[in-house]
Amino acid sequence: MTTRLHRRAVLALGLGAVAPLVVPRPGRARSGPDSFAPLARQVVPAVVNIAAVRDVPATAQRGDARGQLEEMARRFGQTRRPQAAQRATSLGSGFIIESSGITVTNNHVVEGAREISAIMNNGRTLPAQLLGRDDKTDIAVLKLKTEEKLPFVRWGDSDRIDVGDWVLAVGNPFGLGGTVTAGIVSARGRDLHAGPYDDFLQLDAPINQGNSGGPSFNMDGEVVGVNTAIYSPTGGSVGIGFAIPSNLARQIVDELVRNGRIERGWIGVNIQDITPEIANGLGLKGDVDGVIIAAVETSSPAARAGLRQGDIIVAVNGRRIDQVRDVPRTIAALRPGTDVMLTLLRRGQEVAVPVTTGRLPER
């Protein structure tokens, strides 16, 4: 049975058993708080419900079968009276990061919207302007239109949150309005194959449809994740939700606020993991770290730097490469025109090759 993961990703799950191991960190509480109420009172005023109004084509409103009849009529020369598009409103969540009204949400919440508004926790509705969006990380930034100072929350450091740490999720599930749920970080570094830069936190705090774009907080009231997707056979929470880590989201948000779009570094290589068959074909012995260059794009930065098919990338700027997704993530995080040092394994010898990044083409 195919299960449903919002944003169209699918996971296969396996079960196993391990012996429990508890190693408390110095200075960290060994149990949860007596109540999340003080934290909720602190952060909820800065979390908003996002309403995005879109035009829905008439054929889409009538369903696939009617749409096919319309297409058949068109192909056979029959004409029908055009049907006007209608409006549909989708709901999501967001959070304010500056008192001026700068607000973060998911791109899929507002993509294609002709009107966007934010409903504050006190029920007040504010119109919103889209400042920029990035479909590769599913982040969008809005500016709420108001002259008053708004409540806001601060970013936290997602690199410092551990598996097992408490998180508080706030959002607008099923359009019900501001809702608070609590749980822990279940895993880090999840790749849902939803985009090239997937690096999700997995949470067990209940997250449902409408929570998209809402924040997850650490116990200091700092945003450590942007809730984005759930794994579910029904569309409701089964305790497996995913959030974009704050350190990635913050970087994207800052650039969208500055430029309205994201410029990513690019070198122009096609890479793949080193399978045992590839290793044998290259005469490599034992386990080999890194990824192999399968092709170099013509006139790319990699081609100008002399990279070759069959080179093995083992490090980028000294950072070791363990899997294919490490390379595009590391390169994309650099601005175009940045000098980067690649450590390669070429014909059994380790060599260092400098490359100047280009701008990732729009595709």
Q: Which residues contact 327 (CB under 8 A, 6 or more apart)?
A: 269, 271, 291, 313, 316, 321
Backbone angles phi, psi at 237, to 5 degrees: -70, 135
Residue 260: CB atoms within 10 A of its CB come to 12
243: helix, coil or strand?
strand
Degrees to nearest 5, angle at CA 26 with 21 and 31? 60
Largest CA distance in the chain: 76
Which of 330, 360, 322 lies closest to 251, judged by CA? Answer: 330
Strands 269-273 and 222-232, bridge-based pairing: unpaired
Strands 312-316 and 319-320, bridge-based pairing: antiparallel
Structure tokens that stand for 207 in this block: 């997250």
Backbone angles phi, psi at 279, to 5 degrees: -60, -45
Degrees to nearest 5, angle at CA 187 with 183 and 191? 125
Strands 47-56 and 115-119, bridge-based pairing: antiparallel
Strands 312-316 and 339-346, bridge-based pairing: antiparallel
339: helix, coil or strand?
strand
As annotated, the active-site residues are 108, 138, 212
Distance CA 188, CA 32 (A): 20
Residue 239: CB atoms within 10 A of its CB come to 15
Sign of CA dihedral 331, 335, 336, 338: negative
